[in-house]
Amino acid sequence: MRFTRIATAGVVVAAGALVLSGCTQPYESEVVEGTEITIAYNESFFHFNDDSGAGNNTANGNVKYMVDTMFYYYDDEPKVVRNTDFGTYEKTSDDPLTVEYEINEGVVWSDGVPVSGADLLLQWAAMSGNVESDVAFAPATTSGLSLVTEIPEISDRGITLVYDEPFVDWELAFDVGVSAHGTYALAFPEEYADVQSAWDAYSASGEEDDFKSYSDAAKAFAEDATDAVVTAIQDGDTATIGALAKAWNEDYAYTTMPDNPAKFLSNGPYVIDEIAEDDYITLAANPLFTWGPSPHFEKITIRTIADSTAALQALQNGELDVWTGQPTADTLEIAKGIDGAQIEQRQEASYEHLDLTFNNGGPFDPATYGGDKDKAQKVREAFLLTVPRQEIVDKIIKPLDPEAEVRNSQMIIPGVEGYDKMVEENGSATYAEVDIEKAKSLLAEAGVTTPIDVKFWYPEGNVRRGQEFELIAASAALAGFNVIDDSEPNWEFTDPSIHAINPHDVAIFAWQSESLAISGSDQIFGTYTDPLLKGGNYNGYSNPAVDEGLKELETLTEPEDQLAAQIKIEQALWGDAYGLTIFQFPGLLVWSANVEGVSAMPLSPTYLWNFWEWTPTKAGE
C-alpha cells in the first residue's frame, strides 16, 4: 500500500497508539487536522449490520467498509489482498477442509474492547444457519459457512473453521461482523446501563478522561458479555441465542445517530460521527486505530443525492469532492465540463436486472389463477417478451459505452470465460427480441383478460431507472399490460419486518458483486421458507433443481464442472421466466482537484477500496 505523509498541516496522533504488533516502528497517525472530504451516493445509510438480509445494501456496505477492518480486501486489479495488519488466516488441512483465523494483538473496537474469538464465534453462528434458537438469525447468505456444521473452537483472538465438505471459495467465506459484546448489550440493555451512563457523560463533555471511564466500563461489561455469548452458543441456549439473533437482525437498523454506542461499535479507521436522516452521514477518524495504514482525512461525509445531475452540479459548485453513480449521456457531458475535475470510465461488476414476484397474489403468482402454474408461467413469459432490453441499451447505455451489449446471463459477467457458452445454452435466446404478437398469443392461451395491472418498482428519484420504466411500460402496453409506477425511495420490500412478502409485481435494480467468488448465488435464487431468512430472494422464487444446483456448486473445484452446474441453474431460471438481465453497468467516477489518490475498482465498494490513500491537496487551508 502507498502512504503519503502530509507535512503542510497539523497531524492528529491516535490517542494511546504506540506500537503495532509485530512492528519495530511506532504507529503514527497521518490524519491531517481539520480536513474533510465530501462524497455522495444515491441512497442513504440505514443499517449498520450489512451482513443481515435487511441490511444487505451498497449504501450500508460503503459505510461499513470504512468503519471496519477485515482479513482481506480487493485492490483495483481486482485481486485479493490479505490484510496482515489486522490478522491472518490459513488453510491447515484439505481433509477435512480446515481454516484457522487469528486477529492481531492490539486490534480493538471503538470502545477499547479487544476484538476476540467471541466476535468470530458470533459471526459463525449468525452466518452459518447452524445454530438453533428461539429466533433465527437472518443473514444475507449462508454460502460456504453452512458447511461448517460443528461449533468451531475459539481462542482469545482466533477461530478454527472445519468444513464438512470441500468449499471452493473458502478464502472468501468468513470475516468479522458486528461485535459480540455490542450485540449482547442490545439484546440485554439492562446489563449495559453502567456503560450507557459513562457514554452519556463522555458525549456531554468530550473529555479524554470521560472517554477512558466509558472505555473502562465497556471493557468490564465485555468480559461477562462475551463469556455469555460464547457459553450460549456452545451450550445451545436457545433463549439467549434467540435474543442475540433478534438484536443482530433488527437493532442495528437506524437512520439517525443512535444514543446507544453499542449500535455503532467499529474496528476500523473511522467511526460514525453524525447522521442526518436522508441527507448525510459523517465519519470521523478513529483515535484508537493503529492496525493498518492511516487515513489522511479527519472526516468523510457521504451525502445522499439520488439525482446524478444534482450530484455533479454540487461537485461543480465545490460542495462535493467525489461522485460515482448511474450516469446518463447528459451527466457525462456535465462531468466533462467541470473545471479541474478528473474522470475515469470503467465497466463495473454490477448488472441491471428485472425480477418478477412469484408469491404476492399478483399477475405472476400461480395462486392468482387458482394454483395454475402453467397459466402464471405464460403470463410471466408474455411480460418478459415485451421488455425492450436492446432499446434500453441503445438509448440509455450506449451513449456512455458504445460497446455496450445486452447481458444474457444471471451468473457470469460478459467477457469472462464461460459467458459465451452460457448464453448459447441457458435459454436466454427466448427473450433476445421483443415479440408483442407472441406475448399476446401466450395471454390468449392462458385465457387471461387484458389489461393486466402490473405494479412496477424502481427506486424513486433514480433518473436512469425512471427512463427504463417509461420504455418498458410503453412496450408492455402493446401486449395488454398496464404497468403502474409503484416506485418508492426506501427499498422497503427488502426488509421482511416491513414486508414479509414483496408487494410489487416487478422490481428493477442492480446486483453489485463484492467478490470474484463462484458461490453465493443462493442469496438471490435459493429457497427461503421463512421470510426472515430470504437473504436477497425478494421475489419468492423457489425451484428444487436450482437449490440442488446451488448447493452442488459450492463444492466443485474444477472450472468445467462449475460452468456445467451454472448452466443447469440458469436453464431452470430462464425456463421459469424468473426475470431478465439487462446490462452491465457503465461506470463513471468523477473527483475534484481537492483530493488525490482516488481510483476506480469494479467490485463493491468501487472507488472506496483505497480510501486510506486519499490525500487532501489543500491541507490546512
Cα-flanking dihedrals φ and ψ of residue 259, to 5°?
-80, -25
DSSP of 242-282, one letter per residue?
HHHHHHHHHTTB-SS--S-GGGG---SSEEEEEEETTTEEE
Kindly give, in sequence order, each residue whose CB lies less than 8 Å from that of residue 560, ignoring residues fewer than 6 positions away.
Answer: none
* 261 and 297 belong to one structural domain: no
CA max distance for the chain = 77
Instruction: Say if residues 177 and 119 touch (Cβ distance below 8 Å).
Output: yes
Which pLDDT tens digit goes with each residue over 484-513? 999 998 889 988 888 989 999 999 999 988
In angstroms, rounded to a whole number, what is the distance separating the alpha carbons of residues 366 and 526? 19
Question: Which has more pLDDT, 53 or 441?
Answer: 441
User: Helix/strand/coil (H, E, C) string of 395-456?
Assistant: HHHCCCCCCCCECCCCCCCCCCCCHHHHHHHCCHHHHCCCCHHHHHHHHHHHCCCCCEEEEE
* 452 and 515 belong to one structural domain: yes
Smallest CA-to-CA distance from 103 within 146, 68, 147, 78 is with 68
Cα-flanking dihedrals φ and ψ of residue 403, to 5°?
-90, 5
What pLDDT does residue 577 have? 98
Tell me the pairing of strands 481-485 and 452-457: parallel
Residue type, 136: A
Q: What's the DSSP call for residue 538? A: -
Instruction: Say if residues 577 and 381 touch (Cβ distance below 8 Å).
Output: yes
In angstroms, rounded to a whole number, what is the distance separating the alpha carbons of residues 438 and 445? 10
What pLDDT does residue 5 have? 14
What pLDDT does residue 501 have? 93
In angstroms, rounded to a whole number, what is the distance separating the alpha carbons of residues 78 and 349? 11
Does residue 59 belong to any structural domain of this protein?
A: no
* 260 and 283 belong to one structural domain: no
Instruction: Say if residues 148 and 135 touch (Cβ distance below 8 Å).
Output: no
Is the pLDDT assigned to residue 362 strictly greater than 70? yes
What pLDDT does residue 13 have? 28
Is the pLDDT assigned to residue 168 strictly greater than 50? yes
Cα-flanking dihedrals φ and ψ of residue 483, to 5°?
-85, 120
In angstroms, rounded to a whole number, what is the distance separating the alpha carbons of residues 47 and 437? 45
What pLDDT does residue 533 have? 60
What pLDDT does residue 350 have? 87
Does residue 56 belong to any structural domain of this protein?
A: no
What share of the chain in percent tops pLDDT 70? 94
What pLDDT does residue 19 have? 27
Smallest CA-to-CA distance from 252 within 238, 244, 263 is with 263
Which pLDDT tens digit goes with each residue over 197-256? 999 999 999 999 999 999 999 999 999 999 999 999 999 999 999 999 999 999 999 999
Does residue 354 belong to any structural domain of this protein?
A: yes
* CATH classification at residue 9: 3.40.190.10
DSSP of 101-160, one letter per residue?
EEEPTT-B-TTSPBP-HHHHHHHHHHHH-----SS---BS--TTGGG--SPPEE-SSEEE
Instruction: Say if residues 314 and 385 touch (Cβ distance below 8 Å).
Output: no
Which pLDDT tens digit goes with each residue over 176-199? 999 999 999 999 999 999 999 999
Helix (H) or strand (E) holding 380: helix 373-384
What pLDDT does residue 188 have? 98
What pLDDT does residue 518 have? 87
Is the pLDDT assigned to residue 600 strictly greater than 80? yes
What pLDDT does residue 178 have? 98
Is the pLDDT assigned to residue 53 strictly greater than 90? no
Does residue 108 belong to any structural domain of this protein?
A: yes
* 241 and 381 belong to one structural domain: no
Range of lowest pLDDT (29-38, 433-442, 522-531, 568-577): 522-531
Which pLDDT tens digit goes with each residue over 397-451? 998 889 999 999 999 989 888 999 999 999 999 999 999 999 999 999 999 999 9
Which pLDDT tens digit goes with each residue over 121-142? 999 999 999 999 999 999 988 8
Report the chain's C-alpha Rg in angstroms.
Answer: 25
Tell me the pairing of strands 595-596 and 615-616: antiparallel
Cell of 476: 408492455
In angstroms, rounded to a whole number, what is the distance separating the alpha carbons of residues 113 and 196? 15
* 9 and 95 belong to one structural domain: no
What is the tally of structural domains in the chain? Answer: 3
* CATH classification at residue 454: 3.10.105.10
* 301 and 238 belong to one structural domain: no
Does residue 549 belong to any structural domain of this protein?
A: yes
Name the band, by pLDDT with cuts 50, 70 and 90, for residue 348: confident
In angstroms, rounded to a whole number, what is the distance separating the alpha carbons of residues 227 and 233? 10
Which pLDDT tens digit goes with each residue over 225-235? 999 999 999 99
**Residue-averaged pLDDT of the chain:** 92
Instruction: Say if residues 597 and 615 touch (Cβ distance below 8 Å).
Output: yes
Name the band, by pLDDT with cuts 50, 70 and 90, for residue 619: low
* 303 and 247 belong to one structural domain: no
Range of lowest pLDDT (5-19, 165-179, 402-416, 585-599): 5-19
Q: How far is CA 62 from CA 145, 506, 607, in A?
A: 23, 26, 10
Residue type, 416: V
Name the band, by pLDDT with cuts 50, 70 and 90, for residue 7: very low
Name the band, by pLDDT with cuts 50, 70 and 90, for residue 1: very low
Peptide bond into 78 cis (omega under 30): yes
In angstroms, rounded to a whole number, what is the distance separating the alpha carbons of residues 305 and 312? 10
Domain that holds residue 512: 349-584
Name the band, by pLDDT with cuts 50, 70 and 90, for residue 2: very low
Does residue 556 belong to any structural domain of this protein?
A: yes
Mean pLDDT of 578-592: 94
Kindly give, in sequence order, each residue whose CB lies less than 8 Å from that of residue 3, ignoring residues fewer than 6 positions away.
Answer: 30, 293, 294, 613
Is the pLDDT assigned to residue 618 strictly greater than 80? no
Kindly give, in sequence order, each residue whose CB lies less than 8 Å from that of residue 103, ignoring residues fewer than 6 positions away.
Answer: 86, 87, 115, 116, 120, 157, 158, 176
Q: Which of 245, 267, 289 is the last residue of a domain?
A: 267
Cα-flanking dihedrals φ and ψ of residue 341, to 5°?
-80, 150
What pLDDT does residue 12 have? 30
* 334 and 419 belong to one structural domain: no
Name the band, by pLDDT with cuts 50, 70 and 90, for residue 8: very low
In degrees, to the nearest 5, what angle opens at C-alpha 591 toward C-alphas 316 and 611?
140
Instruction: Please count the residues of the chain.
Output: 621
CB atoms within 10 A of CB 208: 12
* 295 and 366 belong to one structural domain: no
Tell me the pairing of strands 506-512 and 153-154: unpaired
Is the pLDDT assigned to residue 25 strictly greater than 80? no
Name the band, by pLDDT with cuts 50, 70 and 90, for residue 534: low
What pLDDT does residue 3 have? 14
Q: How far is CA 175 from CA 63, 178, 246, 313, in A?
A: 16, 10, 21, 38
Does residue 51 belong to any structural domain of this protein?
A: no
To which residue does cell 418498482 refer?
457
Mean pLDDT of 97-108: 98
Q: How far is CA 160 from CA 102, 127, 157, 344, 586, in A?
A: 9, 15, 11, 42, 40
Cell of 204: 456531554
Cα-flanking dihedrals φ and ψ of residue 214, to 5°?
-65, -45
Q: Which of 238, 267, 296 is the last residue of a domain?
A: 267
Mean pLDDT of 471-496: 94
DSSP of 177-239, one letter per residue?
-S-HHHHHHHHSGGGGHHHHHHHHHHHHH--HHHHHHHHHHHHHHHHHHHHHHHHHHHHT-HH
* 130 and 41 belong to one structural domain: no
Tell me the pairing of strands 158-162 and 153-154: antiparallel
Q: Which of 207, 242, 267 is the last residue of a domain?
A: 267
Question: Which has more pLDDT, 25 or 27?
Answer: 27
* CATH classification at residue 180: 3.90.76.10
* 359 and 316 belong to one structural domain: no
Instruction: Say if residues 458 and 465 touch (Cβ distance below 8 Å).
Output: yes
Mean pLDDT of 523-539: 80
CB atoms within 10 A of CB 339: 7
* 132 and 231 belong to one structural domain: yes
To which residue does cell 453499542 refer?
262
Global pTM? 0.81
Does residue 240 belong to any structural domain of this protein?
A: yes
